Structure 1
Amino acid sequence: MLNSLGENSLFKCHAFIVFIALSFLQGTTHARSDSSNSLSSDQRKAIESVIKDYLLKNPIIIRQAIKKLKEEEEASEKARVSIALKTYKKELIGDKTSPVGGNPKGDITVVEFFDYNCGYCKRAANTLKALIKSDPNIRVVYKEFAILGQKSITAAKAALAAHQQGKYVKFHEGLMSGRIDLDSIASLANSLGIDYSRLRKDMASSMIQNTLQKNYKLANALAISGTPVFVIGERIIPGAVNEETLKQVVMDERARRK
């Protein structure tokens, strides 16, 4: 995200410099003639030369402009995220079809968007499990965000079907620690006492398909395009962050609510 902001800032900085130059040129034209809004080729070249020389002699101005643009973009993005999180708060933490782990009555809710075929998500699953173990007041909402192909979709549907039989968390942990295919899904289901025939039937249900679609739409509304992503309070945390980072965000959120 930072690289994208930097490139965007550089483009905007260049556009800003051009805008200032043209504005200056227009001002020069108006000072000379109220009847003309155009500049001759020589006039443009002269002004462009002055601007170029000035920037070459004072390159720090470009750096300062880029820094300011980045700060403004980051502030704008933070405001956008804050509004989006408030707008979609119910969908994030109160959707009845989304599985819940940890302490269902916990004071802090951690929402995770993940894909079972994502290596970073497998690492994040262990981190989240450790967080739940260390903090008994953490409530987790699992958002199946299958974006890495058909196997991911199949696994997500299987997990949501396991949820219908009250075995989501163990099934989820099993999928995160093993390979993903129908044979492994069947084996995992049998090991957990899940009715596999019912699970396969539920996997094809419109309710589960609708849950996945809701998750896609929610992720899009929050500008989430990758996995894993955690949402805690007013923060969106992308990537397989470590346990200490999550603990700090949770602590900050608790402090913010006081």
Structure 2
Amino acid sequence: MSTKESRELYLLERFLPQLFGAKSYSLLQPAPPLPDVLIQVDGRKIGIEMTALILNEQAREREANQDAILIEAQRIFEKKHQLPLQVTVDFFEAVNWRNLDRKSVAALVAEAVGTCVLEVKEMPQYQIHFDVTIDSFIHSHIRGISVFYLDTLTQPCWSPITTFWVPDAPFEKIQEIINRKNKNVSGYLAGCDEVWLLMLETGSPSSSFHRFEKLQELAFASAFTRTLIGRVSKGELLTLPTKSLT
């Protein structure tokens, strides 16, 4: 499974209780042209297509470096520990990413996470869940590290976050993403009864937005049965009002 697929599945698992409550369901990751995930529930197949909320072209190089560091850090950590974690690394935004020894930074991150796990995992109160912040981590490119564990989650997710604030979630950009995905709905429906679109606000510099409540005042043109935003940083699901394309 690719890093992207692993991250998406981990994030989806955190929202499944909100989507389906206590209902029994099964999950499958099919191949294209079907959506990213198929959920079998109540005798129906629901497809869920996932995508990042916003892509900022100016942030691509920085995020590529951050992802490379975390992919390597996750690989180092998982050679020693078989534990699915959500690790979020808070990177400084205004730093020079050129000529950075990414492998040495990755090794430092993996060591810090490993030390954290060893300190808490054997404590009885942390067998099912723990959420720890490492704020004493000193590096020119890293502000801190958050480590989250829940025994019901099966997929690891190591992701970057950079301090970045945008005052409004932009309607036009969100509609652009929906428009792009609308083109694929007929292919998605080839293998399911209905399909939902889940846009993930991951908290990365290209996707940290505020005042989402304003989106409730607007209607998006969507071919999906449900069109949702998953606010990972808040653990919230937002259902967008939609209007028919016909």
TM-score normalised to structure 2 length: 0.20
Structure having the higher Rg: 1
Larger proportion of strand? 2
Larger proportion of helix? 1
TM-score normalised to structure 1 length: 0.19
Query: Relative contact order (alpha carbons < 8 A, sep ≥ 6): 1 or 2 greater?
Result: 2
